[in-house]
Chains A and B, each alone.
Chain A
Amino acid sequence: MDSSQLFGITMIAYLLAAAFYLGLFIFKTPRLGWIGMLLAVGGMGIQTAAIGLRWYESYQMGVGHAPLTNMYESLVFFAWCTTLFYLFMEFRFKTRVMGAFVMPCVAIAMAYASFSDRIDAQINPLIPALQSNWLIAHVVTCFIGYGAFAVAGALGLMYLMKLSAENKPANVHALSASLPELKVIDDLTHKTIVFGFMWLSAGIITGAIWANEAWGTYWSWDPKETWSIITWFMYASTLHARFTRGWRGRRIAWLAIIGFIAVFFTYFGVNFLLSGLHSYGSN
């Protein structure tokens, strides 16, 4: 059994988990949610093993390095972080229906990593620029942040759905009846953004220190750096709007979604659409 087979099983588990969570959301049968949770936890366990195995395999090949070095590995790690963060939220705040919004994202990330032509799943040796201890610190901090922001975006979407359903006739209302109270979603969105912001800051800082070690400039306004600071500015405004202007609810939900679009562009758009120092992430 090799890591790619395990990643395949992970992908199927996440797709099924997404389907069951959606089932919970639509049919409101608690058992469906429970199966979804088991699938997500199981998928997560298999994925953890697969990441460990891929790491080991790279040493077997004589090019040993943490599996965090290209688009395939980063998508897999993004799926892992998001699921881990989501499951933590589910257990901590007892909001299982959130999975209907988060797990489809995770499943899509895994499926895209496995099936896209643009993405090379091979284990490749590390080019000199990536041979640094900062690699793990930088990628892990960034991706915990990305995972949290993905969950925040899903929560924002959930909030808007619940809100629009509350202003509509009862039959539409029924669909969102299983969603938590607006106040609860709002509070969770805020907490998630705060958590993500911490890690995004840490990710930008570790990146800056690494850039200084490798190139002698901690900041060179390369597109990836610029987009990460744009994202940082956006979440900083969101937090200020909430803390000092008292923004709540709908506006914060929209900002959580817009923020995630910025994260998505920082992660994907920059690699595929713009050129720069981070180009090794694009294949």
Chain B
Amino acid sequence: MTQQKKNPVVALFASVQLALFLLFFLAATSIIGTLIPQNSPQGVYIEKFGLKTANLLHMLDITDMYNSWWFLGLLTIFSMNLLVCSLERIPQVIRTIRRDGLAVKPELLEKFPLREVVTVAMPPEEMGRRVLSLFSKQGWKARDTASDKGRLFFAEKGPWSRFGVYVVHCSILIILAGALVGSPTIAQKILRNPLFAFKGSVMITENGSSDQIISLKDGKPLDLGFLVRCDTFNIEYYPNGMPKTYRSEVTVIDDGKPVMSTAIEVNRPLTYKGITFYQSSYQPYQDYVVTVKNQATGAETKEVIAPARQMDWREAGVSYGIVNRESQGEVTRRIKVWFTDNQGEPSIFWVNINQEALVERPSGTYRFQARQIYATGLQVAKDPGVWLVYSGCLLMLVGLFIAFFLSHRKIYALVQPHDMGSRILFAGEANKNKVGFTDKFSQFISKLEK
């Protein structure tokens, strides 16, 4: 190995000291953003911390610190550190792996911390055969070489496990690369194509549709290139009143033709042309779709009405209206209905939203049902980097497993003539879990047939 003079910058980026410093510094600075609220309006900071501190926070980008120049700068230095230190060490690892175990000097074996000497009254040739069979029976593929010092056997397992830690380093770089590919800022400012990667949201009223979403970053509209229609939005409740499901039935209309109709729920997004729609919020309107049906004739009417307005169904001679409501926030749970067919006293009754009420009138029995009108709020995201991130995550788990639980183990056996018999020097080496390997090593030798 030639000793080159290292560039001091390269040396810095290759150093573990820098890695330790960065890990500590990233951890310490990350705490700030969990204590100081992120991305709130400036007024909130002024109220909380005073004008001077608020201005300082703003100047240092602490109000959006995870996207700030200095935090991203730290991450960049961290990536360079990972890259340079890995690139510098990998050639050494390759050299270590390629080093031929048979080339080891027999004198050196005598100095191994892990060694054991066995002497037997058996000629070295016969003992050599037994040692070879010991290796193969214990699942080690041994090679051997002869010299004037005796016959040396060598076998190793898991040399490639030395790469484990670099697999982990590489996986982190892949994850960060995936984050760059999926970054809306890069899509906008560098690729000049905001549609390459974005995050946004859209509110669609029931029966309404939209081909635009609002970008989360700057509030500007983005064209989807197709239309999303919200057919219905529904909330289901558990008996105790907790929400059970938020569901939007939507239809995607591309080129004027409906191409898919499906339901979006929390944890069940819809993906179309690489763009994914997530159920994220809703907005109840104070308007209701009312359906009235004459049970005998089957005649039906469907109207949108606001509270405290009279609606007339002229063909049937029926009039109705909502006179009172019981709501939870903006969500109506039941309504009080005024209903008449202009014969006798009007009927007044409470009915739950989405449930049918039977109204007995002189002119017949009517089925009355009302549902509230909603707009559904969808998060919309396109992230072409997500598969890179997922692959990086998988690679990280594999790398961690290799780095922590597998090791490079070597066993040497030197068979020499000794006092009419043989002397066998066993030596072993493992780069990790040395305690565990010491036991394996003793077990290995105990299986030798003498």
Q: Name A's B-contacting residues (CB within 8 A).
A: 63, 124-125, 127-129, 131-132, 187, 194-195, 197-198, 201-202, 205, 208-209, 212-219, 221, 223, 226-227, 229-230, 233-234, 236-237, 240-241, 243-245, 270, 274
Contacts and interface: CB of A to CB of B under 8 A. Distances in A.
Given A205-B393, A230-B27, A128 B244 contact: yes
Contact of B401 (A198, A234, A236): A198
25 contacts: A124-B240, A125-B242, A127-B243, A128-B243, A131-B266, A201-B400, A205-B397, A209-B390, A213-B267, A213-B269, A214-B266, A215-B278, A215-B379, A216-B383, A217-B199, A217-B381, A218-B386, A219-B179, A221-B33, A221-B38, A230-B27, A230-B31, A233-B30, A244-B16, A245-B16
Interface in B99-128: none
B213 to A, nearest CB: 12
B31 A245 contact: no
Interface in B211-244: 238, 240, 242-244
Question: Chain B's interface: helix, strand, loop or mixed, by majority?
Answer: helix
B242 A124 contact: yes
A217 B383 CA distance: 9
Given A205-B396, A216-B381, A245 B33 contact: no
A194 B401 CA distance: 10
Contact of B267 (A125, A214, A223, A227): A214
Contacts of A213: 267, 269
Interface of B: 16, 19-20, 23-24, 26-27, 30-31, 33-35, 38, 66, 165, 179, 199, 238, 240, 242-246, 265-267, 269, 276, 278-280, 379-381, 383, 386, 389-390, 393, 396-397, 400-401, 404, 435
Contact of A226 (B16, B24, B30, B404): B30
Nearest to A184: B435
B23 to A, nearest CB: 4
A212 B20 contact: no
A257 to B, nearest CB: 16
Nearest to B27: A233
A129 B267 contact: yes
Given A213-B269, A226-B33, A240-B19, A127 B242 contact: yes
A237 B390 CA distance: 24
A128 B265 contact: yes
Contact of A245 (B20, B238, B379): B20
Contacts of B390: 209
A198 B168 CA distance: 11
A88 B55 CA distance: 54
A216 B23 contact: no
Contacts of B23: 233-234, 236-237, 240
A274 B278 contact: no
B379 A216 contact: yes
Contacts, number: 103
A229 B30 contact: yes
B266 A129 contact: yes
Most chain A CB inside 10 Å of its own CB: which residue of B26, B38, B266, B379: B266
B259 to A, nearest CB: 21
Given A128-B265, A223-B34, A245-B16, A237 B242 contact: no
Nearest to A244: B16
A194 B433 CA distance: 12
B266 A240 contact: no
B40 to A, nearest CB: 12
Contact of A227 (B34, B38, B393): B34
A213 B242 CA distance: 22
A128 B267 contact: yes
A202 B397 contact: yes
Contacts of B243: 127-128
Given A214-B266, A217-B199, A233 B400 contact: no
A223 B34 CA distance: 5
A233 B26 contact: yes
A241 B20 contact: yes
A63 B238 contact: yes
The 9 closest A-B pairs by CB, nearest first: A216-B381, A233-B27, A128-B266, A237-B23, A223-B34, A132-B267, A205-B393, A244-B16, A125-B238
B400 A198 contact: yes
Nearest to A223: B34
A132 B278 CA distance: 14
Given A208-B393, A245-B16, A233 B401 contact: no
B34 A274 contact: yes
Contacts of B34: 223, 226-227, 270, 274
A205 B280 CA distance: 22
A194 B31 CA distance: 24
